[in-house]
Amino acid sequence: GESVGLHLPTLSVQEGDNSIINCAYSNSASDYFIWYKQESGKGPQFIIDIRSNMDKRQGQRVTVLLNKTVKHLSLQIAATQPGDSAVYFCAERDRGGTSYGKLTFGQGTILTVHP
Amino acid sequence: DGGITQSPKYLFRKEGQNVTLSCEQNLNHDAMYWYRQDPGQGLRLIYYSQIVNDFQKGDIAEGYSVSREKKESFPLTVTSAQKNPTAFYLCASSIRTVGADTQYFGPGTRLTVL
């Protein structure tokens, strides 16, 4: 999960294993969630998104699970590869009452894949 | 990075100088955003624009200014009033701000104050 401060959570896995990265959110009004991947020195790259009326969505090698009861989001990566090594962070959108759906970003989890 | 470009990739600034970071997108997106990223922290919103000639302050707008004269362009000026400008700056765009539209990011500009 996410944490406060300079020390990001880390996850180390072996190549070929499945990875699960977690994100806790606090805003019950959030209705849209996104997972991003960020490699060192680069901009975040969209991976997958999910709306609050769903609890699971699958992409290519990735699955996002949403548990609104406990405000928890997870990203599952199947058959993790060295190229998956990066910082992964979630973002949530508050539908609110304004015209702007502000995204709030988590601090990220460092995924390291060992060959 | 898609159709969003940022320049320069690296920028060095002396204290007291204003610098402008460029962001261009060819995705025909209405909305554009500027974020700041510091080590170990989540992205923080500086400014956003929903449409040409309109922009709004984000959470940490002090010491920054923007303009949106063209749909494709959303430059950010880091002024001398910004007390701690060294950071990684990210520009993003989305089709619109209302609705569940994903924000797509550029490659970033790393600003260092000497």
- pLDDT tens digits, residue range B50-64? 899 999 999 999 999
SS in 3 state form for A53-102?
CCCEEECCCEEEEEECCCCEEEEEECCCCHHHCEEEEEEEEECCCCCCCC
- Chain B environment of A93 (Cβ under 8 Å): 100
pLDDT at B67: 98
Task: Tell if the CB–CB gap between B45 and A108 is shorter than 8 Å.
Answer: no
Torsion A83-A87-A93-A98 (CA) sign: negative
CA distance B56 to B48: 5
Cross-strand bridge partners of residue A19: A77
Identify whether the C-beta of residue B80 lies closer than 8 Å to the C-beta of residue B17. yes
Given pLDDT bands bounded at 50, 70 and 90, which one contains residue A108?
very high
Gap between the terminal Cα atoms of chain B? 28
Q: Please state, in angstroms and rounded to a whole number, the distance separating the CA atoms of residues A23 and A8.
A: 12
pLDDT of residue B82 exceeding 80: yes
Q: What is the pLDDT of residues B15-33, one digit of tens each?
A: 889 999 999 999 999 999 9
Rg (CA), chain B: 13
pLDDT in tens, A78-103: 999 999 999 999 999 876 655 566 78
* Nearest CA-CA distance, residue A39 and chain B, Å: 10
Q: How high is the mean pLDDT of chain B?
A: 91
Query: Is-contact A111 A85, C-beta < 8 A?
Result: yes
